[in-house]
Every structure is written in C-alpha cells, then in structure tokens.
Homo-oligomer: A and B are copies of this chain.
Amino acid sequence: MSLTAIMYDRVMSRWEPNARGRLMHAALELYVSRGFEQTTVAEIAKLAGLTERTFFRYFADKREVLFWGAGELQELLVSTVAGAPDSDAPITVIGAAIEAAGVVFEERREGAVLRQSVIAANAELQERELIKLAALASAMADALRQRGVKDPGASLSAEAGIAVLKIAFERWINEASPQDLPQLIRELFDELKVVTGAI
C-alpha cells in the first residue's frame, strides 16, 4: 500500500463522506424497523442521500449490504490458521481460528444481535449467510492444505469448525444471560470430541 494510495483514500473520503457506510447504516436501520422485504433499495438510497444506482455500485445486491464484514472475518480465520504452530493438530488450529472469530463477535455483541434479528426473519438473508459461512470453511480448508494437511481431513476439520461456530453463535445470540462466546466455542469443540467418539 503506497503513500499515495493512502492519501488517495483520504481525499476520496473527504469528497465522498463514507457513502458505503451511510448505505450500510441506512439499510440496517430500515431492515430493523420495517423488515427486509418491506424495504426498497430506493428507500435505503434516499435515506443515505444517494440514488438506487449508487447503492448497486457499492453492493452487489440488496442482501450484501448486511454482509460487508465477511471479508475481514475470513482474513482473520485464514491468518490465524496460517500462523498457528506447526506442531498443532488440524482441529486445534481450526479451534484457535474459530475462537479468534468468537473474540471479535464478543466485542461487538450489540450489533451482532441486531443484525442477526434481521437475518433470522428472512430466508434469503439466511441463504446469504450460509454461503458466506461455506466460503469461510473453504478458505480455512485451503489454509490447512497450505500447511500440508491432506484433503479429507482439511475439509472435514474446517467444516466441523464452522458447524461449531454456527451452533455457538446461535446460542450466544439467543440466550438471555449472554455466555462468553469464545468459551462457548471451546466447550462445543470439546463436546464435538465426545460426540464423535473421543472421550
């Protein structure tokens, strides 16, 4: 990343004060208050002070505006897998990565709950979430293969990790007294061992 690029960003954001962020904020607000289906893209754009056409320049579709953070999350998972000690077993590596993701969510519980309430109310959004999770699993499996883990094991470990994340996240969101998500993740990995026959 060159200095000019950094300056360029600053310049661009002065001329256009965070259009993407405004769109994301407006979309979430409307999705929460009226529901996803009852909100039109034109309404989101208007609330953000932009036009419908511009919305689709920032987001591939009406759903994607809720999933902007997925890229960062994937980077976190991949880099955690890549940076784990060579001696760690694949499932241990995946466990560390999922736990690191859990820490990030734990820091932003408010937003996560709000966002998830929108997603839970709409099947299309659940579909998008599932494909994002599948992409995370795929990326982690790649990262494991990069470490020399052979293939049925790499895919299985990654998918198992995502399964744990799904279940842990769901419980963490829905429970009245919020447990610590990273700890919940650790417990579920332990339970996974129990369930699969390891004592």
Contacts and interface: CB of A to CB of B under 8 A. Distances in A.
Q: How many copies does the complex hold?
A: 2
B160 A192 contact: yes
B198 A153 contact: no
A156 B193 contact: no
A152 B131 contact: no
A155 to B, nearest CB: 5
Contacts of A193: 196-198
A180 to B, nearest CB: 15
A166 B160 contact: no
Nearest to A153: B195
A42 interface: no
Interface of A: 89-91, 123, 126-128, 130-131, 134, 152-153, 155-157, 159-160, 162-164, 166-167, 187-188, 191-199
8 contacts: A127-B128, A156-B167, A156-B191, A159-B163, A159-B167, A160-B160, A193-B197, A198-B199
